[in-house]
Structures are given as C-alpha cells and as structure tokens.
Structure 1
Amino acid sequence: MKYAKNILETIGNTPLVKINKLTKEIDALVLAKVETFNPGNSVKDRMAVKMIEDAEADGRLKPGGTIIEGTSGNTGMGLALAAIVKGYKLICVISDKQSKEKMDILRAVGAKVVVCPTDVEPTDPRSYYSVSKRLATETKNAWYVNQYDNPSNAIAHYEQTAPEIWEQTEGKITHFVVGVGTGGTISGVAKYLKERNPNVKIWGIDTYGSVFKKYHETGVFDENEIYSYITEGIGEDILPKNVDFSLIDGFTKVTDKDAAVYTRRLALEEGIFVGNSAGAAIKGVLQLKEHFKPEDVVVVLFHDSGSRYVGKMFNDDWMRERGFLEEEVTKATDLIKEHQDKPLIVVRTEELVSHAIERLKKYKISQIPVIDTTGFVGSLDETDLFRSYVEDKNIADKPIKEVMGKPFPIVKENTSIEEVSKLINKDNQAVLVELENGKYHIITKHDVISSIK
C-alpha cells in the first residue's frame, strides 16, 4: 500500500503548469510552479518543516516546547502542521494587514494568533518583529524561528524546490521569477540553479513601499522608500539575511493594483486559484518580457492559495473601495456609485452655521449644499468656513445665508466625467447630479480622483 505516514510527507513535488492566456504576448515558454498543492497550501510548508527539524537536531527546540514566529500567515500554517504532528505549541505573531482568512486558518490549526499594527517601524515595540522576539524571551521553553535570518529557510529551497524545478524542466530553465519577502525561496533556488547553469537569470518581484529593488541596484537602504502597501507576502522594510543579493540578477516592482488585478485574472483566465503574490509575480513576468527569447523557459513561482484572499482580492467591494476593480467610468452616475444609496446631506438658509459644522463633522464631509423652499440656493465649504471663523469668532451663531457661497452647478446623470471635471475648480468644490427619480447626489473632487485608474 502507498500512503504517507503523516501529512508532512506530502510536502513537495508540486506541479509545473504552463501559463497560456496571460502570457500570449511573451514568446518564451512560461511555467508556473504552483505551490498551493502543498498540504498547507503554500511554498512555506517546505522551509517551516526544515527549520523545525534543524532546530530539533541542534537542541534549540526541545520536546514539548513552544514555537514562536512573526509571519504573514503562510509560514505560520506550515509551522502549525509540523507542530501538530510533532507535539509542539505555536504562537504566530501577524500584522493587521494580513487577511482575516489567514488569521482564522491559523487558529483553526491550533495556533495562538497575536495581531500587531502594520504601520510602525520594525524596531517599534509594537511591530510584529519586536513582539515575536519579546514573546520568545518571556515564554518558557520557547524557540523563536526568525524565518528572515534563519539559514534553514534558504537551505530548504536549495534542497527541495530547486532540484524539483531543475528535474521538471530537464535543466532547460533559463529564468526564475519569484516574489521576495524573507528571501529564502529566491536565494535557495538561485544558488542551486546557478551552480548547475551560471547563465540562469534570477528575477525578484518587489512591491512599492519595499526597499529591495533600490538596495540591489544602488546598495542604498532608502528609508524614504518605506511606506505601507497592500500586497501580501512580498517586499520588506528590513534586509533579511536570507536575501542573497549577489545571486539575484534584478528586481521589478509591481503595484498593489496590478498585483490584485492579476491575482483575479489568474483565476478567471488560467483557472489557477492562487494568492496575492502570484498576481504580482505573473505581472512581473509581463514587465520583464523584453528579457525573454522564444527558446527560453521561464519558471515563475506561485506562493499560496487564493482561498486566503477571498475577503480581499476576490471580493468586488474590497477591490472597488481601493479603485482596483476594472470598471468603466464615463458619466456622472458612475462617480456616485459608492454613496448613491445614502441621502444627500443639506442645510437650510435659516439654520445656524454651527448646525452646518456639526453635519460636516458627523458625516465626515467637506462640502454641503444649502436649500430653501425654492431649492438649492447656496453652498458651504469647510475651507471657506474656516476662513470666515478666523475673521469672526462669532460666526457659529450666524444664519447660514450670511456666509454661504454660490450654489453648486447641477448636471444630468449622463453628463460625461470630462464635463463634470471642468466644473470642479478652486472656486467651486463640488457638483450636484440630478437623477431621473428627482433625487440629487453630490460629486466632489474626491469622487473624481477615486475614479482615476
């Protein structure tokens, strides 16, 4: 009988799958190493088990111990499977930008999950790097994994992932493309491939808000490049020891929007339901197309499963909120989709300015139309109100009609975005759109900017 003694024995031997539709403009053969076939649904299963086994071998991890790690979710899953089989406890420290699905999955496999804020410096005591280290010192019989600097991370890919790719391509691979986070995958695979063929090119996929690309090209760690980004699993605001820049031929950066859009396109056009970093990786391949020749064999690695992003990239509302959904925006009604179900907030001429200020604060808006019994007769803008307050501290008790500006222009619902945009300027901060049902909605500069793809 053929069977695995436990779930860990099913890790590896993931398939190479040809990409067909998304790479039509590339002459080379593009093959995806689909790591979602691992039992924990990600490439991280490989290094998680390797790091644990090496720590067991040299005594860092003792029987009944607690494994502690800062993770974007996937390493945590791999560690959880090994912890279950081997009898360890697990604490995963995760940043709040990671998907809810990842956190729920970790809890489902017995991990304790500690959530930390994303928008803090790595050295901040609240960061998931700092919290992981602190918990490791405070917890009895604990082992801090530290996948960023743990050499077993890269060794796992040198020993497992790379030989699989070499064998599956019969040594014909010419380019390897992969998202870079901890650096273990790219460095381990690169070392193995370049030992067998120094001409194999290794390309890393980076994201905007991460330091890798500029550091590789200039040797400068530019803190100005560090800012919050949405893409999960790749990019860093530190330089992990596992990133061996000498083995990497180049980086290309992919935007959050492109990563999200191409994650969905992989599912819709290739039938490959994979995660956010896979979208970034395949878009990166397209950005690198001038580097490929017809006879080349390009292998791109897809890290994890799309099931971990159902509430994000695969959710239309989430995509729409961030301007990532590819929807055609051509007329006035397209601009009010986000708030057309909400009533128009107005004030009356005889109300006090203080009432308008309360409404601006309550509804978090910057402009408000003024009406009387005849219809729209004026407008208020927070900038004008502030200027008036500086000139007269008693303005809050005055009637609105004494400080209001001219009414906002009114357009029909099929008015083009170009016409609407022309009406919004420094003297006029908003436009009203009249719908067929007789109701009105407001279009602000923010609505127009949000529509820009």
Structure 2
Amino acid sequence: MSNLTSRATSSAVASSSTSKLAHIPGWTIISRYSRSHRKSTFLIGVFTGLVLGLGSITSVFFFAERRERRRRRRKLRSYGLDDEDEEERRRRELRGRDPIQIRSGQVVHGVEGLIGNTPLMRINSLSDATGCEILGKAEFLNPAGSPKDRVALQILKDAEEEGLLYPHTGSCIFEGTVGSTGISLATLARAKGYRCSIVIPDDVAREKVELLEKLGAEIQSVRPRGIVDPRHFVNEARARAEAFGDVELVGPHPTGLGTSGYAGSDGGQGEEFVHRDDLVVSTKRSASNQGENGEIINESQARGFFADQFENPSNFWAHYNGTGPEIWRQTGGLIDAFVAGAGTGGTLSGCAAYLKRVSCDPDESNRGGGFIRRPGSAQEVKVILADPQGSGLYNKVKYGVMYSPTEAEGKRRRHQVDSVVEGIGINRITRNLQMGLQCIDDAERVSDDQAARMGRYLILNDGLFLGSSSAVNCVAAVRTALKLKRERGDDPPPVVVTVLCDSGSRHLSKFHDNNALTRLGVSDAGSSDISDILALD
C-alpha cells in the first residue's frame, strides 16, 4: 500500500513539474537551447557592445569638440573678435560690402572690374631653398599696380553710398601719400568722374611722381616732416580739402564713433596716437543751394573730399572683405602664417582680423579646394609684421612700446622713417592698424641691406621684379617659414603667405639703382646673396 502511495506521489510531482515547465519559455531551458539560438544571442551581444562602445567614443568626441569650440571662442575674444551684436554687424555690413567683382572669364565693368582676385603664386626659389611653401599674393597685378587699388575703390564707394561724393560734379579727391595710394586714387578718379589732388613727400622715387602727372593728378611736393607738423603731407592734403569750399560737410563717421572714437592726447592711449577730425568734405556756399537752415541741398555742387587712407576704416574693410577671404579660399584654409608690412596698416590688420576669425571660428568648414591639400584641420593662422629699419612698429608689437622718448618725432634727427624702403614703416599707430593690432602675433625687422639683396635675388632666380616693400615682406616670410619649420617640423611643410605689393618699375631711380643705394648707405647694393637670411641665426 505504501508503495502505491509513494508512486502516486511521485507521479503527481512529475505531473506538476511538467505543467510548470509548460509555462516557461523554451529559450530559457538549457535543454532546448539550440545552436542557432546561441549564435543569435552571441551576435546580439556583440552588436550591443559595439553600439555602446561607439556611443562612448561619440560622447568623448562631442565633449572634446565643445571644449575646442570654447577654447577658440576665448581666442577670438582675446583678439577683440568676439561675437558682434546686431548693431555692430549692421555697421560692418554697411561699411564693408566688398566692391570687388568675382571674375571667371566674363566681361568686367571698366577698370574697377580689374581690381582684386589677384593670383596667389608659389615663389619657387624661396620655397625650394627653405623646404616650405612660401606663397605671394600678386597684388602688383591690380590695374594701378598695388593693393591700394582695393582701398581707393572702397573709400570712393563708401563715400558715394553715404552721399558724401557724387561723380561728374567737378568734385576733387585729396590725399597725402608716398605714391601707391595716390596712383590708385588718380586712376579711379579719372574712371569715375572726379579730379584728384595729391600731396607727396619730395624724397620718393621720381617714377611715382611722373606716373601721377600722366594720370592727370594735381601734385604738390613737400619736404618730409613729422606728423605733428601742419605741413606734413597728410595734414597738407587735409587742409587743401578743407580749403576747397567755404562750407564743411561732416558726414557720418564710418563706425558711428565720431571724434571720440579716435585716441588723441586725451584718449588715454599714449602720444603715439594722432587725433583727427571726422571725414573732411567741403563745398562752396551759394544762394541757390541752401535750405531753410542754410544746409547744402544741391547734390550737383562740387565737393572737396579728403580720402584719409591712414584713418579711414574703409581701408581696413577693403582687406577684411576682399584680400583676406581670397587668401583663405586660394589656400583652401591650409595656411600657417600671414606676413605683411604696415604703412597705413589696412592690409595687415584687415587680413589679420579675417584670417584669425576664420581659422579660430569653430563653425568654419570651408577648408577644401585650395592650392595645397593635406589631412587635418587648419591651425590658427599666425600673423607676422614685416617692418623695415627705422620704423617703430616692430618695438610696438614685440615690446608694447613704440619708441623711447629720445626717438619721438620732433626729437629725432630725421622725420621720415630712416629707410630706403617706401610704402611701409611708420612711427605712429593709425586707426586702421589699431583695428587689427591685437591680431598680430610677432614681428620681423628687416634691414635695407637685406631688402636690397632679396630684391636682386628674386630677379635672378624667379624673374620677379618687385618693389622695396615686397622685398621686405619676402625676407620676413622666409624667416617666419624657417621658424615654423623648426618648431613644427616639415611634415607637412609650413605654408606662409605674404604680399607682393608693387612692381620694381616704380623704384628704378632708388631701390633698383645701385649707385643711389650706395649713396644712401646700403652696403653691397648689387649683391643677391641671401645666405644669411636662409641661415636663420
């Protein structure tokens, strides 16, 4: 009986176990775990692991990118290029519309259409000698032969848009210049229906004066003097514009700052700044063109307009919106350094501000299609000032001090920058230079002797017949390239861009005259040996 009871109990337990197992999914029972199920589970596990791993890597890159964006934005702020508010952006757009016509084989409109979009060329001899890529922006191919064509076009365009100038009214453009800006203004003045009056120092190369005469400009030569002297060529040009008429029209200031926006003796910026009035536009008063309050209302009245290349921000914007973007596009964003001299400061500051902004901008993505292609994203572009001997800008960039009190104008033995180089080098901070001064990383000082030898070297080895400021730029570009190569290595080789400002044809009687250089104290005037420059002592 007991045996029957135990069997019944065992049978009931077995039946109960079977009924419970019937409610358990088959894939959980090891005995039913088929080989195909095990393989599927393994693949699901691998896939899940990959997804989680990639997610972790993506998170790492995401946070690293955010950190890099913050770093670059801090950089922009350090250069004074932080995000603009709506009003600042509006002002920049109003003052900075690029007048350069994009050319791709089509017919352009007049001489204005020939300005800008200049080639970026590899300077073969210097690139091969240094093992770097040294590129020159061929600004001497502009129609009037220099980057000042861009400046002159922007100044006149902005003045016309603001109602300060009207073409074909007998109006006259006044400017004080050592040559290139005057030639550009004279060229465009003829094309746009203006007269042009140029005040120029009497120690510049005579070719520039002769060219201005051929272009129909009115020329006044003056002795070189300090900027604080009312008879300085810039101050004389301003005075002539004021004297053109008996009524002075003061237009809206380009930045909306008025005279308070310019640092002078009361600006807290030091004596290296020169105070200036607002834009000088004058006209003649007559009974037929006065409103109720005596204001001038006749747009056809001839006006005298002072272009003011040193202080007019149109100079800066011509390069910020023109030259800088062209360089970035032509290199595909793969540029390590930009090297240029400063006279008015517009070319250096405008290009520097643009290249710093675009290379530090975390949202910038246009990095392809340039001259050189290499992997990796572009680094922040270094900006280097090329300064001739006798100029105070080198000390300002390197040490924060323009010059010692004994070298201040009025106490120096010579008023002009003590150099045979024309077009760059100055002993004051202009408005245009100040706009991009924070973007300049370093400076290279170039002697007259080095510039002269570089000029001869480029003729013999590249067939490049360039002016004195271009030669200074090339010396500084070589030094910059070699320093970058020493710091970063040559894989890939550093890419350095400089500006080839003008042709040597404007310097025949001075920079390219060995006898003239010898009289001016340049040793070995006919030499083309640049081994000391390439040595980078």
Which position in structure 1 is the counterpart of 2:287?
none
Match of 1:213 among 372, 388, 394: 394
Q: Partners of 1:327 and 1:66 in 2: how far apart?
A: 41
For residues 124-179 of structure 1, give each alpha carbon's deviation from its aligned partner in whole angstroms, at most 9, with x where no partner exists: 12211221121111113211111111111010111111111111111101110011
Q: Does 1:127 align with 2:232?
A: yes
Q: Partners of 1:27 and 1:77 in 2: how far apart?
A: 37
Asked whether the equivalents of residues 342 and 424 of structure 2 are also in contact (C-alpha less than 8 Å), the reply is yes
Q: Does 1:103 align with 2:295?
A: no
Which position in structure 2 is the counterpart of 1:201?
382
Which position in structure 2 is the counterpart of 1:320?
518
Q: Does 1:237 align with 2:430?
A: no
For residues 75-119 of structure 1, give each alpha carbon's deviation from its aligned partner in whole angstroms, at most 9, with x where no partner exists: 11111121011111111111122110011111111111111212x
Q: Structure 2 matches for 1:392-431, cutoff 5 A?
A: none
How many angstroms does 1:219 deviate by? 2.8
Asked whether the equivalents of residues 452 and 525 of structure 2 are also in contact (C-alpha less than 8 Å), the reply is no
Q: 1:327 to 1:164 in 2, by over 3 A?
A: closer
Q: 1:248 to 1:300 in 2, by over 3 A?
A: same
Which position in structure 2 is the counterpart of 1:39?
143
Q: Partners of 2:166 and 2:333 in 1: how far apart?
A: 40
Q: 1:328 to 1:73 in 2, by over 3 A?
A: closer
How many angstroms does 1:54 deviate by? 0.2
AA at the equivalent of 2:445: K
Q: Does 1:76 align with 2:188?
A: no
After TM superposition, the structure 1 stretch with the greater mean CA deviation from structure 2, 47-56 or 268-277, is 268-277
Identity of aligned residues (%): 36
For residues 199-245 of structure 1, give each alpha carbon's deviation from its aligned partner in whole angstroms, at most 9, with x where no partner exists: 10011111222111212233323254465322101111221111121
Q: Structure 2 matches for 1:298-447, cutoff 5 A?
A: 298-324=496-522, 326=524
How many angstroms does 1:327 deviate by? 7.2
Q: Does 1:14 align with 2:176?
A: no
Q: Does 1:57 align with 2:161?
A: yes
What CA RMSD, in Å, does the superposition of the two structures yield over aligned residues? 2.0
Q: Partners of 2:516 and 2:242 in 1: how far apart?
A: 38
Q: 1:208 to 1:323 in 2, by over 3 A?
A: closer
Select the structure that is richer in helix. 2
Task: Give TM-score, length-normalised by structure 2.
Answer: 0.59
Q: Partners of 1:231 and 1:45 in 2: how far apart?
A: 20
SS of 1:142's equivalent in the other structure is strand
AA at the equivalent of 1:105: L
Q: 1:327 to 1:188 in 2, by over 3 A?
A: closer
Which position in structure 1 is the counterpart of 2:134?
30
Q: Does 1:263 align with 2:368?
A: no
How many angstroms does 1:323 deviate by? 4.6
Asked whether the equivalents of residues 123 and 129 of structure 1 are also in contact (C-alpha less than 8 Å), the reply is no
Asked whether the equivalents of residues 209 and 225 of structure 1 are also in contact (C-alpha less than 8 Å), the reply is no
Which position in structure 1 is the counterpart of 2:308?
146
AA at the equivalent of 1:204: L
Q: 1:143 to 1:77 in 2, by over 3 A?
A: same
Task: Give TM-score, length-normalised by structure 1.
Answer: 0.69
SS of 1:298's equivalent in the other structure is strand
After TM superposition, the structure 1 stretch with the greater mean CA deviation from structure 2, 219-228 or 60-69, is 219-228
Q: Does 1:3 align with 2:193?
A: no
After TM superposition, the structure 1 stretch with the greater mean CA deviation from structure 2, 286-295 or 135-144, is 286-295
Select the structure that is richer in strand. 1
Q: Partners of 1:30 and 1:165 in 2: how far apart?
A: 13
